[in-house]
Amino acid sequence: MITLKGKGAHGGVAIGRAVFFRRAQISVERRNVADVEGELSRFRSARERTAQELRRLYERALSDIGQSGAQIFEIHEMMLFDEDYNHLVENTIRVENVNAEYAISVAAEHFAKIFSSMGDPYMSARAADIKDVSRRLCKILSGAEDMGVSGKGIILCADDLAPGETMQLDKESILAFVTSEGSVNSHTAILARTMGIPAVVGVGERLMSLSDGTLLAVDSFCGEVYSDPDGETLSRLEKKRNEQKKAEELLEKYRGLDNVTLDGRRIDVFANIQTISEVGAAIKNDAGGIGLFRSEFLYIGRDMPPDEEEQFSAYRTVLSSMGNKKVVIRTLDIGADKQAPYLDLPKEENPALGMRGIRICLTNEELFRTQLRALFRASVFGKLCVMFPMITSVSEVDEILTVCRRVKNELVEEGHRVSDNIELGIMIETPAAVMISDKLAPLIDFFSIGTNDLGQYTLAIDRQNRSVDRFFDPHHEAVLRMIRIAVDNAHKNGKWIGICGELGADLSLTETFLRMGIDELSVSPSSILPLRDKIRNIDLEKENNEKSEDIYGFDK
């Protein structure tokens, strides 16, 4: 058994035989041409046919995976007609008296180099796009056809896959993608997420030494691919795959339905994610948005914090993958159980009560500003909501809003585009925030209740300490009363309020939350459809005998 390690672009488990993607062999040789005008018109008519092909791919992607996934083919068409690109191709043909294929390859190399040298992972991925457009042109000029792949239930392997190549594949026959190159920001990775096909990218050259028919087990949740897996690995992954299948069966029944009660009350159900690779699971499970992207996972398990460009690229990927759906990105919530040694935080007696969350950001402003710059720059790629964790006072929120204003102005002055519609919200996860939620609500756009920490701080129970587990009652009346207070104060101020802690997925409380007036529940992707099932069977007009509404100590 060989284990190949890459990056999971979209989580899932698949077991099947490897089939390698075969491209048409296009050799681009430099040839001198006597009829320059004829060569120019050869190029222009190939460009027309390429544009038609791209439009067909766009239409197909639009109906298969929607606007956000199809967009890439519009971008390719724009690249195809880009003035600078066309100028370089035509000029090379004219000045050097050479064939169109050669001139196209010169332009492709030139622009790919420019994109790659920008040092931004997103722009580097655009280098692959310009090469893809150019290859398509050359393929049309040479009349060659990709052989593609055949067979059912295959694991498609390739050095890399261009978006057009990905889109042309018969998705029904592919269990997973594995590529030796490629990044989680590539459009192929985004398309894999949108199509809901498990994908592991960047596993390295060793993949290409395997042959067609090799048995592969792919676990893209952890970015691992096993070739000729041993019995133990195989049965472990089979178990994981069966669990995934069961969840998918449930998914089919509820896909596309509204989260609406029998008496017509609607509620948003969003997804909690930790990494970009989970966006696909969110989309596949029909999430109405991302209600909590725990951005600290970008900072964990490394020697240095991610810089502005790396963060920008990650946030842009999530925002553009979600199209026009809300994406709530929580700013760095490090500390307590989530550590980043390079921050040199002092060892603390009570880490849960120490330097964590917003306290670190307000103490290390550079760290905070870098993240805000990346977030605000990414805001033009979707519907961004920024959320701040561990709030306990009005003055913290005032300070945050001042930094946000400053960072926004600075970006605009530098010539960056920043959306005018970014929502700023806070987590309600400390008793202090609940008790002053009437004062906090006017300052922000939304609240999201972190019941994991709210339970910990309200009940004085360390969420990391197993020995006090038996004293922990997640349904404690004190916690439920707090939620009710926060809901009432949010609504009195015309703000929306959600729950993104684990309690949001507790089906025994769904009716209670709906009766309280919660507007949104954000849960792990796999909990979305069970929650939808629950919501669709609740009738709020029916008297609720089990839990009378004044159990939380408030009259309506």
Collapse the DSSP code of 207 into the 3-class scheme (helix H, G, I; strand E, B; otherwise coil) and give the result: helix
Long-range contacts of 49-54 (CB under 8 A, 24+ apart): 49/140, 50/80, 50/133, 50/136, 50/137, 50/140, 51/77, 51/80, 51/81, 53/136, 53/140, 53/164, 54/80, 54/136, 54/164
Alpha helices in 278-393 (DSSP H): 279-284, 308-321, 358-363, 365-378
The closest alpha carbon to 158, from 150, 166, 267, belongs to 166
Q: If contact means CB under 5 to 8 A according to the sort of partner, which of ligand PEP, Mg ion, none does residue 488 touch?
A: none
- Looking at the Cβ atoms of 273 and 292, the one nearer to ligand PEP is 292
488 binding ligand PEP? (CB under 6 A): no
Place of tokens 């070739």: 227
Nearest approach in angstroms of CB 278 to ligand PEP is: 14
Other C-beta atoms closer than 10 Å to the C-beta of 145 total 9
Interactions with ligand PEP, residue window 404-463 (CB under 6 A): 429, 450-453
Per CB under 6 A, which of residues 287..306 are in contact with ligand PEP? 292, 294
> Which one of residues 53, 129, 219, 453 is an interface residue with Mg ion (CB under 5 A)?
453
User: Which DSSP letter does residue 222 get?
Assistant: T
Which is closer to ligand PEP, CB of 122 or CB of 457?
457
Q: What is the smallest separation between the CB atom of 514 and ligand PEP, expressed in angstroms?
A: 19
CB-wise, 215 or 436, nearer to Mg ion?
A: 436
Mention every residue, 6+ apart, whose C-beta is less than 8 A from residue 37. none
Catalytic residue among 76, 157, 187, 385: 187
Does residue number 90 form part of the binding site for ligand PEP (CB under 6 A)?
no
Told to judge if 500 belongs to the known catalytic residues of this protein, a careful annotator would answer: yes
- The count of residues interacting with ligand PEP (CB under 6 A) is 10
> Which of ligand PEP, Mg ion, none interacts with 39 (beta carbon under 5 to 8 A by kind)?
none
Per CB under 6 A, does 333 bind ligand PEP?
Answer: yes
The tokens of 454 are what?
């709210």
294 closest CA partner among 198, 390, 401, 184: 390
> Cβ closer to Mg ion: 396 or 429?
429
Task: Kindly identify the residues of this chain, within the stretch 14-73, that bind ligand PEP according to CB under 6 A.
Answer: none
CA–CA distance, 483 with 434 (Å, rounded to integer): 8
Q: Which residues are CB-contacts of 350 (< 8 A; sequence separation ≥ 6)? A: none
Dump the DSSP string for 365-410: HHHHHHHHHHHHHHGGGSEEEEEE-S---HHHHHHHHHHHHHHHHH
Residue number, 289 or 450, with CB nearest to Mg ion: 450
Q: How far is the CB of 17 from ligand PEP (least distance, A)?
A: 40
Kindly tell me which of 132 and 429 has the beta carbon lying closer to ligand PEP.
429
Minimum CB–partner distance for residue 358 and Mg ion (Å): 11
Interactions with Mg ion, residue window 432-451 (CB under 5 A): 450
Q: Point out which residues bind Mg ion (CB under 5 A).
A: 429, 450, 453
Active-site residue list: 187, 500
Chain residues in the site for ligand PEP (CB under 6 A) = 292, 294, 333, 429, 450-453, 500-501
